[in-house]
Structure 1
Amino acid sequence: MPELTLIAGVARTGAIGDGETIPWYYEEDETQYKERVADHPVVVGRRTHEGMSRIRGTHPVVVTRNPDRYDEEGVTYVSTVADAVDAVAARDERGYVIGGQSVYSMFLPYADRALVSELPEYEVGSRVFPYLGTDWTVTARHAYDTFDVVEYVHDDPRSPPSGE
């Protein structure tokens, strides 16, 4: 199974967005984010995928209820965690889960790591990053000019059920 890493920019309120956009912009955060995910598969929900520009060098694995309804060159559409993990494993030993809210929640039990940009925002959004729980350990804190990236390791990630 490939290593799965949740990666998100999170406001102090837990918000990751408002369902349409991300209401803040930190160039340094965007740069470090794109550098981390470059050349790896990224797991993303359909609405998030449709609302964002493609990140150079990534292969989107898009989670949707109806994968047969979509056909986009260079994109794999799946409907289950198991199929997404298989799609990531077919391309790399590491994949990044990049949102939105329901996809983070769906992959949380199976993720090995999380990289959370703790942003100094107090925005309230309709979309939030899920609570990691007590079986995650902070292993590093990377300080940037206006925010920190906190690295968590999942103490006991589950394997996704086959044929989920």
Structure 2
Amino acid sequence: MNKYKIGRVLVNEEKTKETVERLGRQIYEDFKESNRELIIVGLLKGSFIFMADLVRAIDLPLTVDFITVSSYGNGTVSNSNVKLVMDLDTSIEDKDVIIVEDIVDTGRTFKKIIQMMSNRQPHTLKSCSFLSKPSRRVVEIEVDYIGVEIEDEFVVGYGMDYAQRYRNIPCVTVLEES
């Protein structure tokens, strides 16, 4: 028997769409004058739905790439052991790069990825997260584009999961114990 169930809706479909459109406009405004290649890098697996919507909301030429890391396993609490599972296929040197994450919680994973990407000498390196939990930060990290700030609750849906389940829910919901 599953020990968790879907709880209340935290970010509904309408707010999700409005948030993505706002972030797309902000990114467009920030990069419309750039003559460099814009690469949107998604952190798999959680960011894939958000990133798909986001790149459609950015009215600029761009390419996409992905990186996979693991810090949750099958639990509900991020641990400090960040494991690189899949790296980028392309070089980001001297390019405009935006790293896209589904949620920034403790900040450990996102900070490690930003440091790793920074060492590859992009011209600019920005970060974007659909959700942010500032009350959970254990490392200092600045996120350039934040969709929605939420309280300290474990959420699923819109690409986010628990043990690889619930990604297909079209909104963000709280995961509750059964």
What is the TM-score with the length of structure 2 in the denominator? 0.34
Higher relative contact order (CA 8 A, sep 6+): 1
What is the TM-score with the length of structure 1 in the denominator? 0.37
In our comparison, the structure showing a higher alpha carbon Rg is 2
